[in-house]
Structure 1
Amino acid sequence: MNRAVFMKQTVKVKVKSAYVKSIKSGFPLLKKEAVQNLQQLGAEGTILELTDDSGLFLAKGYYGKQNKGIGWVLTHREEEQIDVGFFEKKLKRAFELRQSFFSDPGTTAFRLFNGEGDGIGGVAIEYFDGYLLIQWYSEGIYHFKDLFIEALNSIVDYKGIYEKKRFDLQGTYMEDDDFLIGERAPVPLLVKENGINFAIYLNESAMVGIFLDQREVRKTIRDNYAKGKTVLNTFSYTGAFSVAASLGGAMKTTSVDVANRSKSKTIEQFSVNGIDFEAEDIIVEDVFNYFKYAGRKNLSFDLVILDPPSYARSKKNTFSAGKDYPDLLAKAIDVTEQGGVIVASTNCSTFGMDKFKGFIEKAFKQADSKYQVLEEFRLPADFKTIKEFKEGDYLKVVFLQKL
């Protein structure tokens, strides 16, 4: 196979002295305020050679605007080239770490490559029963697309590859066709997660229909908490938690989400698991309004699942996890039975588990209630993280019993 000739401009960039230590210690995100000569960066996708004030080599990375950064460090070895071989090495190592997933017939959907956790920030690859989905989080990393595809071709067998460009969305999804190469996936594509079926759409929108980082939480709800219980699933999206609870023997599930499409999507997920969706409640409503309604009607539930987005806006309400989570949790506490369980979850990366537990403490005081922590979850093994980048370990889930 002839390898693609890949020549990228390299720019020397001086790192401000206050940030040299963090780069040396393995912090992978290059922040705007860390760079002295910003005007010299060129176009996104440029390879950056990072040096200290005296010109001493620190690391190599690339320029790509994403969230709070302007690029990612790729290597601390001056002689290492950012070429096909580099991408092959990183991808091969990531795939080796996930061999147990490939051999599990009960789970055919998982994260195959997790950005900076696997050594290349700004990109993720998910596996859906033989199909690969590449998520590009900056224009900078997208410039390396041909290298990625060539590397993938040399080390993994796949049916087809899809992509999501997550860097130019501006609140809407603009792509008409996310299909790249190989064969197209069935519509929908049915995948398994711990034996649960999920209908996936690789070519429909920015989201495919399931968040893979909650796999172990869903399994725990199904296996240990759902039997005989009434369940409220808020911000329910496509109803994945409700499906898990129903399969675990829940007496009844109530799924609430403000998006109109959530109803048909949830009906579909129940149906592909052989569950009678008409026996469940699927409600299109602002969750905040539903809590008011439940209060007026004196409704309460044995198990309440609270997994809001980090930021959400509806016609009358705006929610920011870093500011509003305690108030939201207090409302969930009010509709939870004594002795009932709340699954409090957040994917907000701007605060850690300690602060989240502070939010929990505040919410229970606000609701004049007591609790005990039953279990805690972080990201599953396929969502690999590194200790040098705590922001990458974003998921925090705490099972709470209302006393």
Structure 2
Amino acid sequence: MISVLLNKGKEKAVLHQHPWVFSGALQAIKEKPKNGELVKVLSQKQEFLAYGYFNDASRVAVRLLSFDEAEIPNEDWWRKKIKKAVEARKDILTSDNNTCRLIFSESDYLPGLIVDKYGDYLAVQILTSGVENMKAVIIDELQKLTGAKGIFDKGDATARAHDDLPATEGLLWGELPPDFVEVIENEIKYHINIVEGQKSGFYCDQRENRKLLAGFVKDKSVLDCFCYSGGFTLNALANDAKEVVAVDSSALAIETFRKNVALNGFDPFKVTPIQSDVNKQLRLFKEENQKFDVVILDPPKYAPSRSALDRAARAYKDLNRLGMQILESGGLLATFSCSGAVDMETFKQIIAWAALDAGKEVQIIHQFHQPADHPVRISFPEGEYLKGLLCRVY
């Protein structure tokens, strides 16, 4: 096995079992490993630190797998890690909920692998060269453990490009998912589109937050921004919201949203779906002096990296300022960020700036987090990406 030698002082993060070694930490590489090849990481004193897979096209030159010299990440190692992750979700998968994230990359000690379960189908994201090399083993083990009818590749083209991998998408095993796969979450049914939908097809990371927020909406008017396939809206309707206006820029999202309202037998006259840019629509509501009791803001990732943090902060501030301005006094703002580069304290500061600009007084009454199937590995705080605030606005 080829050895990778670290610069002096760069072993600290590895000793703390952080799974990334950046290219700038490398002092020397004995021979030339192929991208995705397993290597041994050594300190400057030639002491063993970890095993990981190498990629010279990525800023993360080595993604670490095992910190025990006796535990070499072979095929059996991969199968055991996959089984451990899948078994950890057994309590989440019930008759009321047949969708969840089965494998969450670094947080499940499998960097570069994401697997989501949607009923009888799996959506898989293979994001790194090391995982690409083990794809056949991964698919075989997933099929054995889950009995899935089909396993579909939803490779994230942007993430794969960081490892110099081509974009991929297509059937990996079994049956091609139908246009709309029916799943259930919080006792609510959804039709989701795995093949053409955003990300892997559905955002199951908001499962617990949808249910919690629904407890505040009885007899209230709700605005659900970036509604996608209707997660927050459907939970609100199930908890007797007076009416819901739902906004998304995607035609497919709005089509799926309408199907999901009908699928659950909710009153279509209580729901107004709008295909529009959210910021544009919020300004229009403000001009028309339209007010809501509850406003939900669940935007896409504004800060894909720390370099985008300043620009993202301005975007989050403007969005939340507009949301606050169309709330009834004493109304609730449920606002989220899925940008890992934005931590909770930074997000609170952004909301404070938005409140100042909007001329509003704001109280935080609850903090939202990601659920148990999106665990945060204690040595990898970067895995904590989803955060949110429930605010009362005056």
Superposition TM-score, scaled by structure 2 size? 0.90
Distance 1:298 1:252, change over 3 A: same
Distance 1:320 1:268, change over 3 A: farther
Whole-Å separation in 1 of the counterparts to 2:259 and 2:243: 17
**Counterpart of 2:17?**
26
What is the CA-CA distance between 1:49 and the residue it aligns to?
A: 1.2
**Counterpart of 1:36?**
27
* Contact 1:116–1:385, Cα closer than 8 Å, also in 2: no
**Counterpart of 2:71?**
80
**Counterpart of 1:179?**
171
Question: Is 1:145 the counterpart of 2:143 in the alignment?
Answer: no
Whole-Å separation in 2 of the counterparts to 1:231 and 1:100: 31
* Contact 1:13–1:41, Cα closer than 8 Å, also in 2: no
**Counterpart of 2:306?**
none
Find the partner of 1:242 among 233, 243, 259.
Answer: 233
Deviations 1:29-69 (A, max 9, x none): 22222223479654321112111112211101112589853
Distance 1:333 1:257, change over 3 A: same
**Counterpart of 2:115?**
125
**Counterpart of 1:265?**
256
Find the partner of 2:212 among 212, 220, 224.
Answer: 220
**Counterpart of 1:354?**
345
Whole-Å separation in 2 of the counterparts to 1:254 and 1:399: 19
Whole-Å separation in 1 of the counterparts to 2:49 and 2:288: 62
* Contact 1:46–1:62, Cα closer than 8 Å, also in 2: yes
1:225 counterpart SS class: coil
Whole-Å separation in 1 of the counterparts to 2:366 and 2:58: 31
Find the partner of 2:286 among 264, 274, 295.
Answer: 295
Whole-Å separation in 1 of the counterparts to 2:391 and 2:29: 47
**Counterpart of 1:309?**
300
Whole-Å separation in 2 of the counterparts to 1:159 and 1:67: 34
Whole-Å separation in 2 of the counterparts to 1:38 and 1:308: 42
Whole-Å separation in 1 of the counterparts to 2:30 and 2:297: 44
User: How many correspondences in the alignment?
Assistant: 385
**Counterpart of 2:202?**
210
Find the partner of 2:85 among 85, 91, 94.
Answer: 94
What is the CA-CA distance between 1:88 and the residue it aligns to?
A: 1.7
Deviations 1:267-307 (A, max 9, x none): 12212222244542211222121122111110111110011
What is the CA-CA distance between 1:153 and the residue it aligns to?
A: 4.5
Unaligned runs of 5+ in 1: 1-9, 313-318
Whole-Å separation in 2 of the counterparts to 1:338 and 1:253: 18
**Counterpart of 1:321?**
312
* Contact 1:238–1:269, Cα closer than 8 Å, also in 2: yes
What is the CA-CA distance between 1:98 and the residue it aligns to?
A: 1.5
1:111 counterpart SS class: strand
Deviations 1:215-268 (A, max 9, x none): 01111122x112111111112222222222122211111112222333212212
Question: Is 1:196 the counterpart of 2:188 in the alignment?
Answer: yes
* Contact 1:321–1:346, Cα closer than 8 Å, also in 2: no
* Contact 1:126–1:133, Cα closer than 8 Å, also in 2: yes
* Contact 1:310–1:320, Cα closer than 8 Å, also in 2: no
Whole-Å separation in 2 of the counterparts to 1:323 and 1:150: 45
Question: Is 1:157 the counterpart of 2:143 in the alignment?
Answer: no
**Counterpart of 1:316?**
none
**Counterpart of 2:307?**
none
Q: Residue type matched to 1:148 in 2?
A: I
Whole-Å separation in 2 of the counterparts to 1:252 and 1:153: 42
**Counterpart of 1:6?**
none
1:311 counterpart SS class: coil
Whole-Å separation in 1 of the counterparts to 2:58 and 2:233: 32
- Tell which deviates more after alignment, 198-207 or 114-123: 198-207
Whole-Å separation in 2 of the counterparts to 1:205 and 1:139: 24
**Counterpart of 2:37?**
46
1:100 counterpart SS class: coil
Distance 1:261 1:161, change over 3 A: closer
Whole-Å separation in 2 of the counterparts to 1:322 and 1:365: 15
Distance 1:66 1:191, change over 3 A: farther
Q: Residue type matched to 2:101 in 1?
A: R
Unaligned runs of 5+ in 2: 304-309
Distance 1:85 1:140, change over 3 A: closer
**Counterpart of 1:166?**
156
What is the CA-CA distance between 1:161 and the residue it aligns to?
A: 1.6
Whole-Å separation in 1 of the counterparts to 2:58 and 2:351: 27
Question: Is 1:105 the counterpart of 2:114 in the alignment?
Answer: no
- State, as a whole percentage, how many aligned pairs show the same letter: 28
